[in-house]
């Protein structure tokens, strides 16, 4: 099969950001009187802002101060990144360069907001390597709904069935599978269960491992 595109999730796949987010949730929870609530990230991976609000209100009640929570966590995230930096996952740049050297398009499909995401991608100097990007505030439905992946494929004129979706979370794998793409998982905080594994075309330790998968005949072929 000829490969049209690689479409990347972002948090937990391109950047080692989920652990930083978890820290900010603990800090905000304590400030707001809810205690350390970072463990809830395991239940919300892949959620956009709207769906995350629904989750927190479902757990803590309709009075949960989501606006204050978002304000505190975003400010804390910026503080941590300014002090410690934000690591990029192994193999990101190598895989992007591999794709472009073979005429394969690349895009990001992330549930995170546009402003937050573009800032991170530009700081990491990989924005220029992408042919397109779709963010959580550009779509109506969050992962595991297929909308974000279908939108990304349409944006870069790629056929979903000839495009690999690279994900770290089960909700993203379900989203890509429902979009008719080729789901490949590189787990971060959460390991896939058996149901998720059945939806995956492959599972790897890092994005570096995806390159030989695509090259050696196990995965779709490139255009070169």
What do you get for the CA distance between the two ends of the chain, in Å?
A: 12
pTM of the entire structure?
A: 0.91
Taking the CA atoms of residue 170, residue 209, residue 224 and residue 99 in that order, the dihedral angle to the nearest 10 degrees is 60
Q: What is the 3-state secondary structure (H, E, C) of 45-86?
A: CCCCHHHHHHHHHHHHCCCCCHHHHHHHHHHHHHHHHHHHCC
Q: Which residues contact 78 (CB under 8 A, 6 or more apart)?
A: none
pLDDT in tens, 104-129: 999 999 999 999 999 999 999 999 99
pLDDT of residue 99 exceeding 80: yes
Bin 180: left if φ > 0, else alpha if -120 < ψ < 50, else beta. left
Q: How far apart are CA 208 and CA 188, in angstroms?
A: 14
Computed over every residue of the chain, the mean pLDDT equals: 94
Which range among 68-77, 129-138, 152-161, 212-221 shows the weakest confidence by mean pLDDT? 212-221
Task: Tell me if the bond preceding 144 is cis, omega within 30° of 0.
Answer: yes
pLDDT of residue 223: 56
pLDDT of residue 166 exceeding 60: yes
pLDDT over 70 for what percent of the chain? 96
pLDDT of residue 7: 98
pLDDT of residue 22 exceeding 80: yes
Mean per-residue pLDDT, 126-153:
96
Element (H, E) at 198: helix 194-199
Structure letter (DSSP) for residue 200: -
pLDDT of residue 224 exceeding 50: no
pLDDT of residue 218: 61
The phi and psi torsions of 15 (rounded to 5 degrees) equal: -115, 145
pLDDT of residue 137: 92
pLDDT in tens, 25-84: 999 999 999 999 999 999 998 888 888 999 999 999 999 999 999 999 999 999 999 999
């Amino acid at each position: 099969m000829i490969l049209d595109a690689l479409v990347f999730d972002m948090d937990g796949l391109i950047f080692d950001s989920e652990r930083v987010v978890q820290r900010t949730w603990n800090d905000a929870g304590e400030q707001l009187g809810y205690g350390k609530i970072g463990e809830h990230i395991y239940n919300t991976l892949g959620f956009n802002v709207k769906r995350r609000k629904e989750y927190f209100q479902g757990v803590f009640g309709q009075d949960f101060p989501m606006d204050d929570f978002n304000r505190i966590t975003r400010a804390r995230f910026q503080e941590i990144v300014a002090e410690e930096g934000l690591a990029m996952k192994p193999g990101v740049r190598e895989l992007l360069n591999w794709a472009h050297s073979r005429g394969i398009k690349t895009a990001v499909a992330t549930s995170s907001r546009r402003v937050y995401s573009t800032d991170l991608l530009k700081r990491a100097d990989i924005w220029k390597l992408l042919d397109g990007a779709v963010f959580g505030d550009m779509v109506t439905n969050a992962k595991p709904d297929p909308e974000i992946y279908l939108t990304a494929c349409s944006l870069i004129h790629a056929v979903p069935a000839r495009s690999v979706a690279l994900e770290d979370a089960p909700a993203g794998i379900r989203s890509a599978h429902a979009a008719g793409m080729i789901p490949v998982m590189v787990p971060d905080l959460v390991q896939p269960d058996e149901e998720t594994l059945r939806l995956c075309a492959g599972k790897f330790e890092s994005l570096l491992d995806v390159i030989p998968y695509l090259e050696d005949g196990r995965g779709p072929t490139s255009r070169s």
